[in-house]
Amino acid sequence: MQSKSAIRRGNKGRKELVKAHRRIASRMHANAKKRGHAKSLYKNAITYQAAAASYTEAMLRNILNANDNRVSQNASLLMHCITSIADGMRTEAYRNGFSIGKELYRMLNSDKHYETYEESIPGLVSFFENAGLGNVAYAAFEDMLSLDVYSNEHRYVGSSIHVFESGIISGFVSSGRRNYSIISERACANNNSDHCEFVLEGTGYRGAEPVNGNIKGKELLDMLLGHIHRPHYSNEYLSSSYMALLSAVVADRRYIGEMNSIMRYIGSSIGDTLAKKGASSRLQGMLNVLDSIYTGMVEVRSKKPMSFIMSFDGTKLNEAYVRLSLSLVEGIFSRAYSTKKMKAIEINRYNLHKIKIAEER
């Protein structure tokens, strides 16, 4: 896979990326020609690749310009835990973060023309603060870097969960230092520390992304469930563009089957708790949980028979994210309303993804 490794080498950069895209497109073209529907597939390949590059840039600009709506802490905790649930996911989250960090450096550097990497760190710090991760303190020297992120999110999950952020810092710093720079999260606010601490571990690619091997997926999931059952009220919110970049890892096509199962599992566990309640408090409980994850996105149409709609901004959140949410909702219904059949339909119009959920009569 020549093209894939070209993409991983990243910023060497955009020229190579464009070449790789062309190779993919021309290969698709050749394959499609054999099957006799060359034109449309070729076109789709080009559009898709171009869209992917400008999509990341657009999301990063939203965050840098603080021009963004926000998502809840529960949504953010859910996604951070899920990107940490297994070593494979952590590797993907780090890699995705890495390419985003590189892109962020490219964008900021084209404006500021940094002479040393230390000069670039305040840009990275503002980026994280604008994204809503918390207040950031840092120390940057030639061979030493630490970033301390202070947020209000301290719910204990028994593991460090900010591997995506480690990847962003790694990509950003690797660009500035012109050397692959390994970043790890040494302490995490969701694992008995009052802040998250990211440090530069060393230099040079060692043939694999750094992954902490102490993750126990089931325990992490149970911890997450303990929190996600309850609505969480906090003044802190995460940028929705940042959330979109984070959730792209989870929505990766290679893992989507497993991720749907995990979301359904989370949903059914929530549903089990709700099933013990009476009809009206069950409905209210479900709406509370959904609202605590999808704040402002859930609209109740009718309570009897029950019908509601969830809307997703299609310019940010992709279809896979919508599908994952649908799995969560299906999981809740399958347990909370086992006697009634629920129907979930996807409606896609313009840039809005909608899920309509209604009691089947």
The footprint of Zn ion (CB under 5 A) covers 162, 188, 196
Q: How far is the CB of 126 from Zn ion (least distance, A)?
A: 19
CA distance 229 to 289: 6
- Pick the closer one to Zn ion by CB: 7 or 187: 187
- Pick the closer one to Zn ion by CB: 42 or 128: 128
- Pick the closer one to Zn ion by CB: 198 or 333: 198
**End-to-end Cα separation, the chain, in angstroms:** 52
Q: How far is the CB of 101 from Zn ion (least distance, A)?
A: 16
Whether residue 255 contacts residue 89, with contact meaning beta carbons closer than 8 Å, is answered with yes
Q: How far is the CB of 116 from Zn ion (least distance, A)?
A: 27
Whether residue 133 contacts residue 190, with contact meaning beta carbons closer than 8 Å, is answered with no
Q: How far is the CB of 160 from Zn ion (least distance, A)?
A: 5
Q: How far is the CB of 175 from Zn ion (least distance, A)?
A: 23
CA distance 195 to 155: 12
Whether residue 221 contacts residue 213, with contact meaning beta carbons closer than 8 Å, is answered with no
Whether residue 78 contacts residue 269, with contact meaning beta carbons closer than 8 Å, is answered with no
Q: How far from the centroid of its chain's Cα atoms is residue 260's Cα?
A: 15
- Pick the closer one to Zn ion by CB: 186 or 282: 186
Q: What is the DSSP letter of 152?
A: S
b/e for 59-86, b at 16 or more Cβ within 10 A? Answer: bbebbbeeebebbbbbbbbbbbbbbbbb
DSSP state string for 234-299: -S--EEHHHHHHHHHHHT-TTTHHHHHHHHHHHHHHHHHHHHTS-HHHHHHHHHHHHHHHSTTTEE
- Pick the closer one to Zn ion by CB: 76 or 247: 76
- Pick the closer one to Zn ion by CB: 186 or 356: 186
Q: How far is the CB of 193 from Zn ion (least distance, A)?
A: 8
Residue 182's contacts (CB-CB under 8 Å, 6 or more residues apart) are 170, 200, 201, 202, 203, 204, 206, 210
Q: How far is the CB of 198 from Zn ion (least distance, A)?
A: 8
Measured on CA atoms in the order 243, 248, 200, 11, is the torsion positive or negative?
A: negative
Whether residue 184 contacts residue 165, with contact meaning beta carbons closer than 8 Å, is answered with no
Q: How far is the CB of 36 from Zn ion (least distance, A)?
A: 51
- Pick the closer one to Zn ion by CB: 148 or 330: 148
- Pick the closer one to Zn ion by CB: 84 or 269: 84
**Which residue, among 334, 166, 168, 323, has the nearest Cα to 250 in the 3D structure?**
323
